[in-house]
Structure formats: C-alpha cells, structure tokens
Amino acid sequence: MTQCNLKSLRIAKASNRTTLDIKQLPHHKPGEKFLKSPIPWNWLAKAAKQPGKALHVAIAIWLIAGMKNNRNIDLSYNVLEEMGVDRHATYLGLAALEEVGLISVIRNNGCYPAVTINEFEKL
C-alpha cells in the first residue's frame, strides 16, 4: 500500500497571502477613496441601465455623498475626471439619472451642480 503525501496535495499559497486574506475583500489603504455602503441595489441597477457614462456619474455621486455623509452634494468634476469622464459626458449622465428620478439637480452657472440622491423603490 502506498503512503499518501499530504503535503503534495495542498494547494500552494499565493505569495504572502494567508487563507484568511483570500476570503476577505480588498480593503482601501489609509487616505484612499472608497465607496461607503450600503447603496440600494435597485437604485444602482436603474442607474446602470441608463445610457453613456450615467453609471460612472452615479458612482461618483455616491462616493461624494459617502464622504460628506449627506444625500445633498456639490458634484465635483475632479472625481469624474479620475474615472475618465469629461464634462460633456457628466452633463449627459446627470440628465439621464435625473430623467428617471434617481437624482434631483440644481444647476447654476459657474458652480458645481447641486445634486440630491432621491429614494428609488422599483426597478
């Protein structure tokens, strides 16, 4: 009867990762931006169905809202530029999200758009 070598059956660990690390989600580092949750799935799914960069705009809105801990924000274009979204695409994304009732927007010349995240119940 052959003896089984248990060490040969073990799955090799990835470099410097423990079993616990593999099960945990990646975590932001100090000073890095992160999305604060929970984000209602129905809200996000509806945003994802909108054309163009609407989902990018929606994610940026939630990022800023999480940082401010407020559903009323001034939408900075810096966050959207980090995501590769230009101002024109931002305007279109805002309009698409507003049209389906996910957000309300107040626009003033020379100022960032004032955005309010609305409640959204159904897909």
- Which DSSP state fits 74? E
Residue 74, domain member (yes or no): yes
Model confidence at 8, in pLDDT bands (50, 70, 90)?
A: low
Which sign does the torsion angle of CA 107, 113, 119, 123 carry? positive
- Residue 59 exposure: Cα atoms within 13 Å on the Cβ side: 16
Out of 13-22, 36-45, 51-60, which region has the weakest mean confidence (pLDDT)? 13-22
Domain that holds residue 49: 40-123
CA-atom Rg of the chain in angstroms:
21
Helices (H) and strands (E) in the chain, counts: 6, 3
Residue 67, domain member (yes or no): yes
Question: Quick one: tokens of 66?
Answer: 């999480």
CATH number at residue 45: 1.10.10
Residue 115, domain member (yes or no): yes
Residue 18, domain member (yes or no): no
The pLDDT of residue 33 is above 80: no
Q: pLDDT digit string (tens) for 85-119?
A: 999 999 999 999 999 999 999 999 989 999 999 99
Residue 16, domain member (yes or no): no
What b/e readout covers 69-78, taking b as 16+ CB neighbours within 10 angstroms? eeeebebeee
What's the number of domains the chain is made of?
1
- Which DSSP state fits 37? S
Look at the block and give the residue holding tokens 């604060």.
36
